[in-house]
Amino acid sequence: MEKQKRIHRSGLAVSLLCAAVLAACASVGINDNLEAARAEVNSASADPDVVSRAPLELKNAQEALNRADNLNRGRESIAEVNHHAYLAAVRAQTAKDLARSRRDTDEMTRMQAEVDRLRLANRTREANIARADANMARADASAARTDAAIARDQAQVAAQQAAAASVQAQSATQQADIERARAAQSAAEAAEAREKLRVVIVELQGKETDRGLLVTLGDVLFQTGRAELLPNAGPRMDKLASYLNQFPDKSLLIEGYTDSVGSDALNQELSIRRAEAVRAALAQRGVSPTRMASRGYGEQFPVASNSSPEGRAMNRRVEVVVADDRGNLKPRA
Amino acid sequence: MNRFVLGSPMLLAAAIFAGCASAPPPTEQMAVGRKAVERAAGTPEVVQLAPTELERARMKLADAERAMANREYDQARRSVDEAEADARLAEARAGARKNDRALAEVNQAIRGMREELARRPG
DSSP string, A102-138: HHHHHHHHHHHHHHHHHHHHHHHHHHHHHHHHHHHHH
Instruction: Give one DSSP letter per residue of A193-227, joined into a string.
Output: HHHHHHHHHHHS--EEETTEEEEEEPGGGB-TT--
Strands A292-296 and A212-217 come out as unpaired
Contacts of B17 in chain A (CB under 8 A): 21
Chain B CB contacts of A22 under 8 Å are 16
> Quick check: B16 and A105 CB within 8 A?
no
Cβ atoms of B103 and A104 closer than 8 Å: yes
| Sheet order of strands, A207-209 included | A207-209, A212-217, A317-322, A252-257, A292-296
pTM of the model: 0.48
- pLDDT computed for residue B19 by the predictor: 47
Structure confidence at residue B11 (pLDDT) = 52
Q: Do the chains contact at A108 and B103, CB–CB below 8 Å?
A: yes
What residues of A are in contact with residue B103 (Cβ under 8 Å)?
104, 107-108, 111
Give me the torsion for CA of A24, A29, A33, A35, rounded to 10°.
160
Closest CA to A129 of B62, B85, B27, B119: B119
Does A109 have pLDDT greater than 80? yes
A268 in contact with chain B, both atoms CB, cutoff 8 A: no
pLDDT at A221: 76
Chain B positions in Cβ-Cβ contact with residue A118 (cut-off 8 Å): 110, 113-114, 117
A11 touches B: beta carbon within 8 Å: yes
- Between residues 136 and 165 of chain A, which touch chain B (CB distance below 8 Å)? none
Contacts of B96 in chain A (CB under 8 A): 97-98, 100-101, 104
pLDDT of residue B65: 97
Grouping H, G, I as helix, E, B as strand and the rest as coil, residue A242 is helix
On chain A, the residues whose CB falls within 8 A of the CB of B92 are 57, 93-94, 97-98, 101
Q: Burial, A283: exposed, middle or buried (Cβ in 10 Å; 0-12, 13-18, 19+)?
A: middle
CA-wise closest residue to B56 among B44, B77, B42, B40: B40
pLDDT in tens, A197-235: 667 667 777 777 777 778 888 766 777 778 888 888 888
Question: Given a cut of 90, is residue A311 above it in pLDDT?
Answer: no
CA atoms of B13 and A79, how far apart (whole Å): 19
Q: What is the pLDDT of residue A14?
A: 52
Q: Do B109 and A18 touch (CB under 8 A)?
A: no
| Residue among B9, B16, B110 minimizing CB distance to A111 | B110
> How far apart are alpha carbons A50 and A100 in whole angstroms?
8
A5, A17, A18: best to mutate for the B interface, most B CBs within 10 A: A18
pLDDT exceeds 60 at position A12: no
Name A217's bridge partners.
A318
Flag if B16 and A18 touch (Cβ within 8 Å).
Answer: yes
Chain B residues with beta carbon closer than 8 angstroms to that of A97: 89, 92-93, 95-96
A48 vs A333, which has greater pLDDT? Answer: A48
Quickly state the pLDDT bin for A18 (edges 50, 70, 90).
Answer: very low
Res A63 pLDDT > 60: yes
Tell whether B62 is within 8 A of chain A (Cβ): no
Closest A-chain CA to B7: A11
A94 touches chain B (CB under 8 A): yes
Q: In whole angstroms, how far apart are CA A248 and each of A285, A289, A301, B43?
A: 13, 11, 29, 141
Averaged over A26-44, what is the pLDDT? Answer: 84
Q: How confident is the model at residue A8 (pLDDT cuts 50, 70, 90)?
A: low
A30-34, A39-43, B8-12: the lowest-pLDDT one:
B8-12
- Tell me which residues of chain A, numbers 112 to 131, contact chain B at a CB-CB cutoff of 8 Å: 112, 114-115, 118-119, 121-122, 124-129
With beta carbons under 8 A apart, name residues in chain A contacting B3: none
Residue A98: which of A32, A155, A47 has the closest Cα? A47
Please tell me whether the interface predicted TM-score (ipTM) of this complex is above 0.90: no
CA torsion sign for A11, A13, A17, A22 is positive
- Percent of all residues in chain A with a pLDDT value above 70, rounded to a whole number: 87
Q: What gap in Å lies between CA A195 and CA A243, rounded to an integer?
A: 12
pLDDT digits (tens, 9 = 90+) for B43-93: 999 999 999 999 999 999 999 999 999 999 999 999 999 999 999 999 999
Q: In this complex, how many residue pairs, one in chain A and one in chain B, have their CB atoms less than 8 Å apart?
A: 118
**Cβ pair B81:A15 closer than 8 A:** no
Q: Is B38 on the interface with A (CB under 8 A)?
A: no
The residue among A224 and A285 whose pLDDT is bigger is A285
